[in-house]
Amino acid sequence: MYACFIGHRNIEKIEEVTLLLKQTVLSLIDNGVTTFLFGSKSQFNTLAWDIVTGYKKQYPFIRRVYVRSSNQYIDSPYEQFLLQFYEESFSCPN
């Protein structure tokens, strides 16, 4: 199963959001989510990535996927860069 994070560029109540997001991610894992999709360019997406990555030690089967909103085709160096942080990267066809 998949879960996708979409959020604001800036987070005002970061401690509250962090606590709720940690609880939500654990609940998602407990309910069978194994793949988490992330966008970029927002504080919320970065926070979600940090939390999921933190749980990866406890749940090594978790997959992090970077969803590119543009650049359907990327060169190998950029792909290798992304794969340092994600297990996969893809772009939706236009």
pLDDT tens digits, one per residue of 19-54: 999 999 999 999 999 999 998 778 888 999 999 999
Q: What is the CATH number of the domain that holds 21?
A: 3.40.50.450
The pLDDT assigned to 18 comes to 94
Q: State the average pLDDT for the chain.
A: 88
Instruction: Provide the pLDDT confidence category of residue 94 given band limits of 50, 70 and 90.
Output: low
pTM (2 d.p.): 0.85
The pLDDT assigned to 71 comes to 66
- How many helices (H) does the chain have, and how many strands (E)? 3, 4
How many structural domains is the chain composed of? Answer: 1
Question: Is-contact 34 68, C-beta < 8 A?
Answer: no
- d(C-alpha 40, C-alpha 59), whole Å: 23
Residue-range definition of the domain harbouring residue 76: 2-91
Contacts of 60 (CB under 8 A, 6+ apart): none
- d(C-alpha 64, C-alpha 67), whole Å: 10
pLDDT tens digits, one per residue of 65-89: 988 776 666 778 878 877 789 898 8
